Amino acid sequence: MYKSFIYIAIILLTAGGCKNTPEPVLTKNELTRVSSEGNYQFVNSRGEPVLLVSGQEITPEQIINKPANLGSLLITPGEYLEPIAQSMEIRDFKEKIKEPLQIIVSDKISEILLYNTAKKEIGDTLDESLDKMVEGDIRKFVQQFGGDEAKAEDAIKKNWHNRENYKKLLRTQILTQWYVSLQKTEIGFIPYRQLIRKYESMKDENFAITPEIEFRSIDILPANLEISDPNMDRRKYAEDFANELYTKLKSGENFAELAKQYSHGHRKQFGGLWEPINPNSLASPYDAIAKAALNMQPGEISQPIKTEPFIFIIKLEKKISAGYVPFEEVQKQVREAVIEEQNTNTAINKFNENVNQQMGRFETNAFIDFCLEKIYKESNQE
């Protein structure tokens, strides 16, 4: 069994793209059919084996000398494997490197099958449609950087080496999504236990409730208070003043009006009203407000909250606690996610059957063996 379809089609993207049918080196008329006793069905004019997949040719040149993502490098397998080939005997080299080369060949086969499947269904408009969707995705990507093309280009180079490689990845993703969409089937009963497991796996990303508080505050800054006696302890005076205000508020005086009169805070003109905010985002000294709000209910007024340098009195207007949307409220969404997951798995399995069938053919193994021998010989030429 080889790597999954999604992994092959998206992660191990090679230089051959999906914009056009991968470019053949030869036409079928230039191939020579080998007798049934040979290891290969077709060879080119140089006597090298050529794989035919859905009528498309794969040559050793495309496998050995076309750049692929190997590790963190975009490099041809021939270049990447040269020092390894020079460090060991051919038997050990073939045994060690066979699986990585199988993945590259499998990826190439996946690319051809994926494109040709779409071509049969969509026809000659496929390439034009792909181009439009890819350009649309690139525009969205640039918008993530505020429309700054230069910053977007730097990000593309960092992650995908160049724009063309990024475009090929996007084409593959689009074709993959399209292929998966073809496999959708009606799914009836889904066990409750399965739905709950899916909910648990989704809830942190999809159903988390962000905590939020909305409040009014009177911010008392001792340094801003006017006092008649310069020897008076300003901090003690501010605390006494805060207690007086708290008494007035508890007796029913309007919080917003007192905030406009006495607050030293930046929300004074709005009656001390803050916009809704995640309490975890409040930095010192305002984090003390968030801590006090945890134990309050909407409509309640806090006792003076002593910090450095402020003393706060707050009225909690609204509070949303952290948590998760209950399963009962999102059951339909969870069920749809389960169905999508099952359809995706069905599509992957179906596609992998076709890839594995091609990979299991005798001539495919012989082709891979030939590529390994060619890499080894070229790497060890004097």
pLDDT one-digit tens code per residue, 211-250: 999 999 999 999 999 888 888 899 999 999 999 999 999 9
Measuring CA to CA, which residue among 370, 376, 375, 365 is closest to residue 89?
376
Q: Where are the domains of the chain?
A: 5-183+337-379, 211-321
Q: How far apart are CA 335 and CA 327, in angstroms?
A: 11
Task: Please write the tens of the pLDDT for every residue from 311-356.
Answer: 999 999 999 999 999 999 999 999 999 998 988 888 889 899 989 9
Pairing type for strands 305-306 and 56-58 reads unpaired
Task: Please write the tens of the pLDDT for every residue from 89-104.
Answer: 999 999 999 999 999 9
pLDDT value at 29 more than 80: no
CATH 3.30.70.920 fits 211-321, yes or no: no
Q: How far apart are CA 157 and CA 141, in angstroms?
A: 13
Q: How far apart are CA 257 and CA 110, in angstroms?
A: 70
Pairing type for strands 68-70 and 323-324 reads unpaired
- Residue ranges of alpha helices (H) inside the chain are 5-6, 60-64, 77-85, 90-122, 126-143, 149-160, 163-182, 192-206, 234-250, 255-262, 287-293, 327-359, 362-379
